A and B are shown apart, each in its own frame.
Chain A
């Protein structure tokens, strides 16, 4: 197990390094921040001074090495715009995005699994067909459109839910969270639902496919032949088996949810990392973009590792291999 973890960590370091090169070159290629940051009226001298101050006069490889050296000390550069450490800016906004993504994932599981179970167990009922049709909508309707519709209906027309911002927050562990206050929770409902729409559909489909496949297995028939109640057969024998793919996919999807929250955060003016990155891209605030991408890469790596570990906990057959027996 320790050997396995160690190998994974080395791999992870390699991936981060490779990504840092790609991200750095990629961001460099997007455009020159000087054009945007420095007022057009500035004269040649002022320009050069600014470029020098930002370190933009050095060749690319030198800029990269400087970046790498500082990154190893936990310094991902200073934002051109806010003149604050990029890392700090992002970390400040991370709780907002995290709670939104977690909320969306939890909602997807709570809504998706029961619907998927039902659709899988009674594939021919009209309700199941409705659920499946709905899941296609969930896949294909664009997030921004659904977000706007939600605002239109629940905020503008009905006035039930607030449509912008995080609402009231409380500070726990040095970070501000919305989900712990009533007002914050109310602010979270719409963005979380909006973000989870795709996931709900995904969970429904995974669960349904899993149920249909598992129900045909000999071990399910054998469980019935033992005289177990239908409830026990489904909730224990079938459920434990479909949990494996559902947890794996939803877990891996979590990184995607964070990345995708960009759209939702923009629509609901949710002050998370997504909103920050959009603003930073608009002004080509390179250090923030690079730092954001690096953090996302890191997050994906951590998520994959956690999913792998969970997976091996759920599936006894994998557990054994991981131990090397």
Chain B
């Protein structure tokens, strides 16, 4: 069975005046039907740019410079803008990071939903409105008929994100790219939305990429995890295994910096140093300057290696690998 989405060696660069920003530089991963891939990494590691690349929404000075994005076996990078538009919001939907900014402030909710229905299907306004109302109901918005006639500012942040999710669901997409959709929301609402998202994937078979820097969200929601660092995936595998016994020193650092109940009282560990400038990445392993296990060999770029079945890391000196433990 082909995966719903398979990204291979994706490269998205920004050609700025200061130089080429390699925001995404050789990213590969796959998501199957009904599965959730958690894409995690620090701020600026290229998560959003990866999402926009899949959507075909990278704007100049940015450009996809290499790799392929296979959606149900079809390479999106080779599609015309017109064909891509037919997929966007229809077969592939995206939910954005900041719910306060994603809805147009001067258009009513019904306008913004009906236009989405009508962009992809020839249906009457009434029918489109009906569909919009059902979608609002589906994401748990009370009295959807009335809410349809409201403007975005009349909703709370959580409600706005629900509207954005409802819009993403209008065409029952095969793939949803959710870019930190709950980061801006409070914890209870976040929990509700996560539960609904998970149910949705299981029931409809929608594949989902859940971008976040919150490992606890990934732990509860995702099937697989891909950890990004400076434009590359440095570790990936099934989420439980990776979080239990991470290979890559960066993943170890990320996990160590999450407050956790069993380590109460211990100081939080921070990853020392800063993300390197994407304009001028160090040769060899890009994590070297911050890595406690760095050694001279790390000045060669480490390849992505499969250290245990289905688990990959881009590190020559990983943690938790049985035969390398000594």
Contact = CB atoms under 8 A, between A and B. Distances in A.
A229 interface: yes
Nearest to A239: B106
Nearest to A325: B154
A240 interface: yes
Interface residues of A, number: 24
Contacts of B107: 236-237, 240
B119 A237 contact: no
B89 A226 contact: yes
B115 A232 contact: yes
Interface in A292-325: 314-317, 320
B116 A228 contact: yes
B115 A219 contact: no
A219 B167 contact: no
Nearest to A237: B104
Contact of A315 (B57, B106, B164): B106
B88 A226 contact: yes
Interface string A218-234: 11111111111100100
Interface residues of B, number: 32
B146 to A, nearest CB: 15
A217 interface: yes
B104 A224 contact: no
B20 interface: no
Contacts of B111: 236
A229 B85 contact: yes
A221 B59 CA distance: 10
Contacts of B119: 226-229, 232
Contacts of A320: 153-154
Contact of A227 (B85, B101, B104, B164): B85
B116 A226 contact: yes
Interface string B90-101: 100110111001
B86 A227 contact: yes
A46 to B, nearest CB: 68
Contacts of B93: 225-226
A50 B180 CA distance: 84
Contacts of B164: 222
A315 B94 CA distance: 27
A315 B107 CA distance: 9
A241 B101 CA distance: 13
A227 B103 CA distance: 15
B37 interface: no
Contacts of B102: 218-219, 222
Contacts of A314: 106
Contacts of B94: 222, 225
Given A218-B98, A317-B151, A320-B153, A227 B105 contact: no
B13 to A, nearest CB: 19
A-B pairs with lowest CB-CB distance, top 5? A227-B89, A226-B89, A218-B101, A227-B88, A316-B151
Interface of B: 55, 57, 85-90, 93-94, 96-98, 101-108, 111-112, 115-116, 119-120, 151, 153-154, 164, 167
Given A222-B103, A229-B119, A317-B105, 19 more contacts: A219-B101, A219-B104, A219-B105, A221-B57, A222-B102, A222-B164, A225-B55, A225-B93, A226-B88, A226-B115, A226-B119, A226-B167, A227-B85, A228-B89, A228-B115, A228-B119, A232-B115, A237-B104, A317-B153
26 contacts: A218-B98, A219-B102, A219-B103, A219-B104, A220-B104, A221-B96, A223-B112, A224-B88, A226-B88, A226-B89, A226-B115, A226-B116, A226-B119, A227-B85, A227-B86, A227-B88, A227-B89, A227-B120, A228-B89, A228-B115, A229-B119, A237-B104, A241-B105, A241-B106, A244-B106, A316-B105
